[in-house]
Amino acid sequence: MDLKFIGTGGAFDYEYGNSSAWITLNGLHILLDCGNSVYARLRRLELADQIDYILITHMHDDHVGSLSTTILHHKHKRSPSQKARILYPDTINGRSLRDRIRAYLSFSLPRPDEFVEFVPLSEVAGVSAIDTKDQHVKGMVSFGYSFEDETDVKVYSGDLGNKDTMFEYVKSLETEKKVQIFHEMTFHADASVHVYYKDLMDHLSSFEVYGYHIDPRKSPADNTVPMVVEQKEFLVEG
Ligand SMILES: [Zn+2]
Ligand SMILES: [Zn+2]
């Protein structure tokens, strides 16, 4: 399994690209989030024609802003006869994420089901959803995701204001496998919609954690959370 980042920035950190990941699991390629800057990077990296599934954490623009274009690319540049496939967690909140994606796409693609096949997440082995509804923005459906093979578990938080959710999830796995947690974070103490870096630092002695969704140039001198952008092994453009 491989999890590499296409972009590591937050909504306004255009130099680093909107946070998005490229997962290779059991020979399948999963694009995780498709924000404003992602389609351009997919083209530059020559990945746009290799997507097997698209997975979305939540409906903010920095996570879905170029989703319509990526789907249109699939139809017009890659395979007119085969629909793009979007995974959704097959739970109540997962189905409402699916319905939100469909509604969002319908502004650009009036009959989204002609372009997209929505596939329940349970059909893809090794991928699990972590329901974080209300934990990023109150009233918003959101998910983190976990990817697992025979030896490794990689957890991707998505945007998340609750500092405990991902760590409690990993503890609940009671696994002997190697676990890496890719966690969004903020350097602003007063931002309730993201997790403050000092709260992540509390977990560094027990977990392998890497921070993303930030501008690394704003990192305070006392930040010890390793940032994804500084780990070449986790970047598609290493
Ligand atoms: Zn968000
Ligand atoms: Zn975001």
Beta strands 53-55; 84-88: pairing state: parallel
pLDDT at 20 (0 to 100): 98
Amino acid at 15: E
Contact status, residue 196 vs residue 183, Cβ threshold 8 Å: no
Contact status, residue 32 vs residue 145, Cβ threshold 8 Å: yes
> What are the tens digits of pLDDT across the range 42-97?
999 999 999 999 999 999 999 999 999 999 999 999 988 899 999 999 999 999 99
Ligand 1 center to 159 CA (angstroms): 5
d(CA 24, CA 196): 29
Ligand 2 center to 150 CA (angstroms): 30
Judged by its nearest atom, the ligand closest to the C-alpha of residue 9 is 2
- Residue ranges for the chain with pLDDT beneath 50: none
Ligand 1 center to 47 CA (angstroms): 24
Q: In whole angstroms, how far apart are CA 71 and each of 29, 38, 41, 99?
A: 15, 12, 15, 16
Ligand 1 center to 58 CA (angstroms): 7
pLDDT at 188 (0 to 100): 96
Beta-carbon count within 10 A of 167 CB: 20
Mapped onto helix, strand or coil, the DSSP state of residue 225 is coil
Question: In terms of residue numbers, what domain contains 168?
Answer: 2-234
Ligand 1 center to 160 CA (angstroms): 8
d(CA 77, CA 125): 28
Ligand 2 center to 115 CA (angstroms): 25
Judged by its nearest atom, the ligand closest to the C-alpha of residue 19 is 2
CATH number at 106 reads 3.60.15.10
d(CA 33, CA 18): 9
Mapped onto helix, strand or coil, the DSSP state of residue 183 is strand
Judged by its nearest atom, the ligand closest to the C-alpha of residue 184 is 2
pTM: 0.97
Q: Provide DSSP, 35-62.
A: -TTHHHHHHHTT-TT--SEEE-S--SHH
Ligand 1 center to 151 CA (angstroms): 30
Q: Which sign does the torsion angle of CA 31, 10, 203, 144 carry?
A: negative
Amino acid at 147: F
Nearest to 17 by CA among 54, 78, 71, 66: 66
Mapped onto helix, strand or coil, the DSSP state of residue 23 is strand
Ligand 1 center to 123 CA (angstroms): 26
Ligand 2 center to 15 CA (angstroms): 15
Ligand 2 center to 160 CA (angstroms): 9
pLDDT at 79 (0 to 100): 87
Ligand 1 center to 12 CA (angstroms): 11
d(CA 181, CA 130): 13
pLDDT at 220 (0 to 100): 98
Number of domains comprising the chain: 1
